[in-house]
Chains A and B, each alone.
Chain A
Amino acid sequence: MEQESKFGRRDFIRVAATAAAAGAAWAAAHPSSGTTVWQLDPAKCLQCGRCSTTCVLNPSAVKCVHSFEICGYCDLCGGYLQPGAKARDSGAENELCPVGALKRTFVEEPFYQYTIDEELCVGCGKCVKGCAVFGNGSLYLQVKHDVCVGCNECSIARNCPANAFQRVPVRNSYLLKTRENGGKGHK
């Protein structure tokens, strides 16, 4: 028993390693920094379509969202209709969305409300491009946090040609386009 109570070389190494590992972990940590999650900056987004193809999930955790407060409620919606569509109606041949996730409902003459069926949306950004080119840019892409699994290295971020992905605090996890920020997605 006396042998065991002695503080040997192995004990020293163990204590030193404990101290080193704990020190390293402590030095690396920012106790003030909370959990962060991935989000994409709509101001940088180029609508290249990679969000729908490079996410580890299928369908992607990136979905189109719609900022109603900056929407123009146009009848001729660049996000909803194919360029050069024959009619402004919900015929499949006229719709831009490849999965029919963008729904249009009549509000009053001549205005229509556009909503996204997130179950269907694959985050391809076709409508986003259409809305950005022709409209107010009220349709844009966001990482939906009820779907996102929060990878340590976001696969879309790695493949994003615009470097639009960044980590944001979990409490404020969307970069929303509002009337106040002029549709920029951040202040």
Chain B
Amino acid sequence: MKLKLLAAVFLLLGLWTVQAATEFRFPMPEFESGYKHPAMSIPPASKTSPWVDLGLLAGALALSAWSVLRLRSRRYVFLIALVSLAYFGFYRKGCVCAVGSMQNILSAFFDPGYAVPLIVSAFFLIPLLFALYFGRVFCAAVCPLGAIQEMFAIFPVQLSSAVEAVLGLFAYAYLGLSVLAVYMGAGFLICRYDPFVGFFRQGASFNMFLAGGVLLLAGVFIARPYCRFLCPYGVLLRWASRFSKWHATITPAECIQCRLCETSCPYGAIVVPTPEDRPVDQRTGARRMGRLFLAAPFIIVIAAGAGYLSHEPLARLHPTVWLAERVAGEEQGRYEEKTIDGDAFRAGKRAATELYAEAHALKERFKYASACFGAFMGLVLCGKLIRLSIVRSNKDYVVDRGACLSCARCFAYCPVEKSHAAK
């Protein structure tokens, strides 16, 4: 019985292979001239081992921390930035990157089937850990996006703190939007709209070059606009750096309050000493704070509502929703031309109703996710207002650990530095 079964299986298998071999419309010829076909060229991937990238990242971070905290040398920081720009930017073409790795980590949480290699995790983690212990030394010299802007910061001007605070909110919005996009499966916005990667690859769309060029040119005066006002990973580093164990200080010893460093920081990261006579009465401040805390829930709810209302345009970030709207529009004759996407969909086996149902379900989820995004922005706004209302008293010129990019510019302005170095 078993033998018969086996025989049947073999017969079937044999028939199947014959079937497979005769599937081709034109059988392979049997050459009389003894012709042998050449081998296919299938070059392997990965020219660089990921461990080299990881080693260089850790090494550059350690050197950067060393240069900022021990050597206190802007020259070394600048040199490391040049090397990082050359390697992570132009050689690796910007695509092994801590900024973008955040999205891979998030993807792994939202979609258990998404596999993140250990290297990518390490790229996300290591700069954050360095920020927790040494400040934003990643931004200072290792990040190629930061480094290319640092090269362009030639005539930096200082922005008023109000402008800085408002523009800083954009980074939170970008962070929120990219988390939203990853959560909804709409792709990696940070990678898609990376403004400088086009220069690294020496090839990009016109709009990408335009955005990158505008940012770099603006960066001649407003130093590092992407880092300060857009970078979503920078937001995480900012949070981490606030609790850094060792952080760069303006002066190596005691501050003599000479005010020389006051204008040295292009990033608005130097906190001036609190004036002796406070401009606002403490009770007024406390009352304002109380009102802020009372208003906070309302601000958050309103912001969540605004997020909810904007779910329609946000949903279009998702390719399925976009395709469903396109297919429906083409069906109703709303578009002059048909797209490849619409044609490809109609050529496939899926029914349009199925696509619409999927898009509808996604839109329902977008309502909730957009409201969460709005609430997050409300929370950020409240946090910012509360932070601005807290009067911190400090006697000396100190760095704002969150905003400081550890660029080491201010060291040279400090007269104590010179006398300290002479000793």
Most A CB atoms within 10 A — which of B25, B40, B119?
A: B40
Q: How far is the CA of A163 from the CA of B51 in the complex (A)?
A: 31
Q: Across the interface, do B115 and A136 meet the contact criterion of CB distance under 8 Å?
A: no
Whether B50 and A151, one on each chain, are in contact in the complex, defined by CB atoms closer than 8 angstroms, is no
Task: Check B31 against A33 for contact (C-beta < 8 Å).
Answer: no
A-B contacts at CB below 8 angstroms, number: 174
Question: Does the CB pair A72–B29 fall under 8 Å?
Answer: yes
Verify A153–B187 contact, CB threshold 8 A: yes
* Interchain CB contact under 8 A, B116 and A28: yes
Q: B122 within 8 Å of A by Cβ?
A: yes
Contact check, B35 vs A107: say whether CB atoms are below 8 A apart.
yes
CA distance A69 to B31 in the complex (A): 12
Enumerate chain B residues within 8 angstroms of A113, measured Cβ to Cβ.
Answer: 35, 37
Q: Is the CB of A68 within 8 A of B38?
A: yes
Q: Measured between C-beta atoms, what is the minimum distance from A34 to chain B in Å? A: 6
CB of B345 within 8 A of chain A? yes
B192 lies within 8 A of chain A by Cβ: yes
Among candidates B40, B244, B319, residue contacting A67 with C-beta atoms closer than 8 Å: B40
User: In chain A between 114 and 168, which residues have their CB closer than 8 angstroms to a CB of chain B?
Assistant: 115, 118, 134-136, 142, 144-146, 148-153, 155, 158, 161-162
Contacts of A49-86 to chain B: CB distance below 8 A: 49-50, 56-58, 65-74
Binds A, one of B97-105, B165-173, B390-398: B97-105
Closest Cβ neighbor of A108 among chain B residues: B33
Please determine whether B38 and A115 come into contact, CB atoms closer than 8 angstroms. yes
Do residues A18 and B132 form an inter-chain contact, with CB atoms below 8 A? yes
CB–CB A73/B40 < 8 A: no
Q: How far is the CA of A135 from the CA of B26 in the complex (A)?
A: 7
B43 touches A145 (CB 8 A): yes
Answer whether residue B282 sits at the interface, using C-beta atoms and an 8 A cutoff: no
Write out the residue numbers on chain B whose beta carbons fall within 8 Å of the beta carbon of A21. Answer: 125, 128-129, 132, 240
A91 within 8 A of B: no
The bracket for how many chain A residues form the interface is 35 or more
Residue of B nearest to A68 (CB): B37
Residue B52 interfacial (CB < 8 Å): no
- Report A-chain residues with C-beta under 8 Å of the C-beta of B124: 25
Q: Does B55 contact A (CB under 8 A)?
A: no
Is B23 part of the binding interface, using a Cβ–Cβ cutoff of 8 Å? yes
B182 to chain A, nearest CB (A): 10
Residue B93 at the chain A interface, CB threshold 8 Å: yes
> Is B27's beta carbon under 8 Å from chain A?
yes
Q: Which residues of A contact B100 (CB under 8 A)?
A: 152
Contact A25 B115 (CB under 8 A): no
* Contact among B27, B45, B109, B191 with A37 in the assembled complex (CB-CB below 8 Å): B45
A30 and B115 contact, Cβ closer than 8 Å, known pairs A69-B37, A70-B24, A149-B201: yes
B38 CB to closest chain A CB, in angstroms? 7
Query: A17, A72, A152: which contacts B191 (Cβ < 8 A)?
Result: A152
3 tightest A-B CB contacts, nearest first: A72-B26, A161-B344, A68-B37
- A sample of 5 cross-chain residue pairs with beta-carbon separation below 8 angstroms, ordered by A number, consists of A29-B117, A74-B26, A135-B25, A135-B26, A161-B340
Beyond the given pairs A50-B340, A56-B201, 19 more chain A to chain B contacts, judged by CB atoms under 8 angstroms and listed by A's residue number, are A28-B104, A28-B108, A30-B108, A30-B115, A35-B119, A36-B115, A46-B344, A56-B197, A67-B40, A69-B28, A113-B37, A118-B41, A145-B43, A152-B191, A153-B187, A153-B191, A162-B344, A170-B45, A182-B20
Interface, chain A (partner B; CB < 8 A): 10-11, 13-14, 17-18, 21-22, 24-31, 33-37, 46, 48-50, 56-58, 65-74, 107-108, 111, 113, 115, 118, 134-136, 142, 144-146, 148-153, 155, 158, 161-162, 170, 173-174, 176, 179-180, 182-183
